C-alpha cells in the first residue's frame, strides 16, 4: 500500500501490519482492480453491490458532496451571521443517528468560536436528558435545529413538540417559529411541518444521501456553521480526499479503496471487530464511525463490529477476532507502545496519521468510501438498513398498548437483589454472578453489547466503561456500550442483522422526573411521556432481539443507575 501525499491531503497511511491477512488482501485488491471497481463506483454503477438499484442508485450523492456543498458556503455563513445578529446564544440540535453524530463531532472536536452559538446535541429520549437541556437554556436566546432525513423519526419530532411549547410559553405563539430551523429531504413531513409552524429557515438536503453518509452535507455543515466551524477548511479537506480517491488514482494508492478491502477481507477471515484507537481530541469521530460501519455492514448474517472508546489492554486481553485501526495526530504517541505490543503479538494493525483536526473533513469521505468498498467485499448493500424498523415497530406496538390501557405490558422479574431486578434467563446470588453466568453460559459468543437506557452523564460513562473493561478482561470478548435509544439508529441494525453471536444486556433505571410529550406542537394535551417512550423503545428492542434469535437479559437498576452498574462490576 502506497502512502498519501502528506502536503496535499494532510493524512497518510503510516503503516499496515496485516500478518496472515496480507496475501488475502493483496489478492482481493487485485480482484478489485481487475473489476475496475473505482471507476464503476464513481460511475454510480449499482451492480458493484447488487443486481437491483433499489437503495443504491439513490444513495450515492456523498461521492461528490464536498464539491457540491462548496457552492452552499455563502448561504450557510450568511445564516450563521443572521443567527448571531438575532441574539441567539445556544443552538440545540434535535436529531438521531445520521442527523446528530456528525454535528456532535464538529462540536466536540472544534468547540465554539467566539461570538457563535454554543451547539448542543440532544439524541436521548431519557426525560432527565431532555430536562437537562431545557434547564441549561434561555428560550429567547435559543435556536432549535430539527434534523431528520425522513422527517418522520419519532425522537426529533417528539423533541420538537416539547421545545416548541417550551419556547411558545416564553415568547408567544407568533414568535415561536423563529426559534426553529429544519434540515430534511425535499417533500418530507418535516418540510411541511416547518412551513406550518413558520420556521426561520429550512435546509433541504440532497435526497440521494443516506443519513450516515451525510456528514459533509447540510446535516453536518449547518450546525457546524452556526458554531463557527471553518466549513471551508472542512470541505477543502473533504475535496482533497475525494480527488485522492478518483478512478485515475492507482488502486494501491487509493487509501479508501485499500481500507475497504482490508476491513472486508479481515471480517471474512474472522477478524470482524474493527477496534479503533483514536487520539482523545477526535474521540467523538469514533461514534460517527461506529454508526457508519455497523449500520452499513451488519446485515444478511454478516457485519463488521466497530469497537470504539475502549482503552488498549495487554495483548492477552484480546481474542483472534480483532483488527486494530489507529487514527492519531502526528504528535500524539501516547498509545504507540501498547499498540506495538499488540502488533508484536500477531494482531493486524493499521495506522493512519493526521496533521490537524481539520483533516477530519477528509476522513469523513475516506471512511464513507472504505465502508462502501467493505460492503462490496462482504456481498451486501451498504446503503440500506433492513433490520432497523423491527425495533421501531415493536416500540410502536408498546406505545399503542399504553395509549389504550394506560400501562406498558407487565414483566415479571426472574430474580431480585434488593433494588436491582433481573429479567430474562438469569439467576445468581448477586447481580454480578448472574451477569457472569449469562456470559459464561452463552454458546460461542462473539461480543457483548451493553445497552444503557439511562440518563447520559459523566459518572455513568465511567461506570459503564469499568463494566465493559471487566467483561473484556475476564472473557476476552469485545464489549460495546451504547445509550438507548441512540444506539438503535447506529449499531441496532448490526445487532439484528449480523451472524447472531452477540449477547445483549439491557440496563434500565427509574426516572427521577418525567416529561410530557405534547400530542401536537402548540397544544398542552399529552398522552405520552418521554419516560414511557424510552421504556417502550427498550421493551421493543428487547422483543426485536428475541425475535431475531438473540440472547438478551435486563437489569433494572432502581433509582441509582451508577450504583447499580458498580454492583454489576464488583458484586
SS3 state of residue 417: strand
pLDDT at 8: 57
* pLDDT single digits (tens) 239-286: 999 999 999 999 889 999 999 999 999 999 999 999 999 999 999 999
Residue 202 CB contacts under 8 Å (≥ 6 apart), including other chains: 181, 182, 183, 184, 191, 194, 195
Query: In terms of DSSP bridges, do strands 349-354 and 11-17 run parallel, antiparallel, or are they unpaired?
Result: antiparallel
From CA 214, how far away is CA 225, in angstroms rounded? 15
CATH fold of 64-236 reads Rossmann fold (3.40.50)
Lowest mean pLDDT among 10-14, 126-130, 131-135, 458-462: 10-14
Confidence band, pLDDT 50/70/90 cuts, at residue 7: very low
Residue with cell 469497537: 307
Secondary structure in 3-state letters for 470-511? HHHHHHCCEEEEEECCHHHHCCHHHHHHCCCCEEEEEEECCC
Q: Quick check: 275 and 326 in contact, CB under 8 A? A: no
From CA 363, how far away is CA 369, in angstroms rounded? 10
Q: Which CATH number fits domain 6-35+250-378: 3.40.50.300, 3.40.50.10490, 3.30.565.10, 3.40.640.10?
A: 3.40.50.10490
Count of Cβ atoms closer than 10 Å to residue 174 Cβ: 9
Residue 3 has pLDDT above 50, yes or no: no
* pLDDT single digits (tens) 246-259: 999 998 899 999 99
Q: What is the mean pLDDT of residues 143-164?
A: 97
Angle subtended at Cα 209 by Cα 205 and Cα 212, rounded to the nearest 5 degrees: 105
Strand (E) positions, 362-436? 415-417, 420-423
Residue with cell 461570538: 115
pLDDT at 112: 94
CATH 3.40.50.10490 spans which residues of the chain? Answer: 6-35+250-378, 64-236, 388-570
Q: What is the mean pLDDT of residues 5-33?
A: 86
Confidence band, pLDDT 50/70/90 cuts, at residue 10: confident
pLDDT at 122: 98
Cis peptide bond prior to 485, omega within 30° of 0: yes
Q: Count Cβ neighbours within 10 Å for each residue of 389-415 and write b for 16 or more, e otherwise.
A: ebbbebbeebbeebeeeeeeeeeeeeb
218: cell is: 447540510
Q: Which CATH number fits domain 388-570: 2.40.50.140, 3.10.20.30, 3.10.560.10, 3.40.50.10490?
A: 3.40.50.10490
pLDDT at 1: 55
pLDDT at 57: 97
- Taken in order 29, 31, 37, 38, the sign of the CA dihedral is positive
Residue 5 has pLDDT above 60, yes or no: no
Residue 192 has pLDDT above 70, yes or no: yes
Average pLDDT value over all residues in the chain: 95
Q: What is the mean pLDDT of residues 294-304?
A: 98
DSSP character string of 535-552: HHHHHHHHHHHHHTT-EE
Confidence band, pLDDT 50/70/90 cuts, at residue 9: confident
* pLDDT single digits (tens) 58-112: 999 999 999 999 999 999 999 999 999 999 999 999 999 999 999 999 999 999 9
Q: Quick check: 83 and 91 in contact, CB under 8 A? A: yes
Please give the model's pTM, rounded to 2 decimal places.
0.96
Q: What is the mean pLDDT of residues 125-149?
A: 98
Amino acid at each position: 500500500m502506497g502512502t498519501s501525499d502528506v502536503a496535499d491531503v494532510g493524512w497518510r497511511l503510516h503503516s499496515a501490519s496485516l500478518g496472515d491477512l496480507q496475501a488475502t488482501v493483496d489478492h482481493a485488491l487485485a480482484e478489485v482492480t481487475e473489476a475496475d471497481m473505482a471507476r464503476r463506483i464513481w460511475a454510480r454503477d449499482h451492480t458493484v453491490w447488487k443486481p437491483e438499484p433499489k437503495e443504491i442508485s439513490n444513495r450515492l450523492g456523498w461521492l461528490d458532496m464536498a464539491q457540491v456543498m462548496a457552492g452552499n458556503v455563502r448561504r450557510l455563513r450568511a445564516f450563521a451571521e443572521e443567527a448571531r445578529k438575532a441574539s441567539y446564544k445556544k443552538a440545540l440540535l434535535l436529531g438521531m443517528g445520521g442527523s446528530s453524530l456528525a454535528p456532535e463531532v464538529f462540536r466536540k472536536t472544534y468547540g465554539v468560536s467566539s461570538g457563535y452559538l454554543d451547539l448542543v446535541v440532544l439524541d436521548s429520549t431519557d426525560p432527565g436528558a431532555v430536562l437537562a437541556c431545557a434547564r441549561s437554556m434561555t428560550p429567547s436566546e435559543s435556536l432549535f435545529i430539527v434534523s431528520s432525513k425522513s422527517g418522520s423519526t419519532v425522537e426529533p419530532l417528539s423533541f420538537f413538540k416539547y421545545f416548541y411549547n417550551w419556547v411558545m410559553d416564553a415568547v408567544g405563539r407568533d414568535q415561536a417559529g423563529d426559534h426553529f430551523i429544519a434540515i430534511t429531504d425535499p417533500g418530507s413531513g418535516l418540510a411541511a411541518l416547518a412551513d406550518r409552524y413558520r420556521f426561520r429557515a429550512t435546509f433541504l438536503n440532497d435526497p440521494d444521501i443516506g443519513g450516515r453518509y451525510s456528514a459533509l452535507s447540510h446535516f453536518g455543515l449547518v450546525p457546524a456553521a452556526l458554531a463557527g466551524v471553518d466549513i471551508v477548511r472542512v470541505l477543502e479537506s473533504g475535496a482533497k480526499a475525494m480527488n485522492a480517491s478518483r478512478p485515475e488514482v492507482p488502486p494501491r494508492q487509493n487509501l479508501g479503496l485499500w481500507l475497504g478491502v482490508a476491513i472486508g477481507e479481515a471480517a471474512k477471515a474472522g477478524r470482524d471487530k474493527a477496534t479503533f484507537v483514536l487520539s482523545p481530541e477526535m474521540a467523538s469521530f469514533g461514534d460517527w464511525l461506529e454508526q457508519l460501519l455497523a449500520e452499513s455492514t451488519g446485515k444478511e448474517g454478516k457485519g463488521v463490529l466497530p469497537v470504539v472508546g475502549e482503552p488498549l489492554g495487554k495483548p492477552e486481553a484480546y481474542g483472534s477476532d480483532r483488527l486494530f485501526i489507529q487514527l492519531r495526530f502526528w504528535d500524539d504517541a501516547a498509545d504507540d507502545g501498547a499498540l506495538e505490543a499488540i502488533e508484536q503479538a500477531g494482531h493486524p494493525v493499521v495506522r493512519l496519521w493526521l496533521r490537524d483536526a481539520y483533516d477530519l473533513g477528509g476522513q469523513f469521505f475516506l471512511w464513507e468510501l472504505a465502508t462502501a468498498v467493505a460492503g462490496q467485499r462482504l456481498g451486501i448493500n451498504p446503503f440500506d438498513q433492513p433490520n432497523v424498523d423491527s425495533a421501531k415497530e415493536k416500540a410502536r406496538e408498546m406505545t399503542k398498548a399504553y395509549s389504550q390501557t394506560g400501562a406498558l405490558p407487565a414483566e415479571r422479574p426472574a430474580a431480585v437483589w434488593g433494588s436491582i431486578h433481573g429479567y430474562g434467563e438469569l439467576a445468581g446470588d448477586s447481580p454480578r454472578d448472574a451477569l457472569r453466568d449469562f456470559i459464561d453460559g452463552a454458546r460461542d459468543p462473539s461480543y457483548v453489547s451493553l445497552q444503557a437506557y439511562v440518563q447520559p452523564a459523566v459518572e455513568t460513562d465511567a461506570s459503564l466503561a469499568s463494566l465493559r473493561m471487566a467483561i473484556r478482561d475476564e472473557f476476552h470478548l469485545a464489549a460495546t456500550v451504547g445509550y438507548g435509544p441512540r444506539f438503535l439508529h447506529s449499531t441496532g441494525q448490526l445487532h439484528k442483522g449480523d451472524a447472531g453471536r452477540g449477547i445483549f444486556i439491557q440496563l434500565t433505571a427509574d426516572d427521577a422526573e418525567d416529561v410530557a410529550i405534547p400530542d401536537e406542537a402548540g397544544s398542552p394535551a399529552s398522552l405520552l411521556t418521554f419516560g414511557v417512550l424510552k421504556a417502550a423503545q427498550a421493551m421493543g428492542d428487547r422483543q426485536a432481539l428475541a425475535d431475531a434469535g438473540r440472547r438478551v437479559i435486563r437489569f433494572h437498576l432502581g433509582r441509582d443507575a451508577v450504583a447499580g452498574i458498580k454492583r454489576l462490576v464488583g458484586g
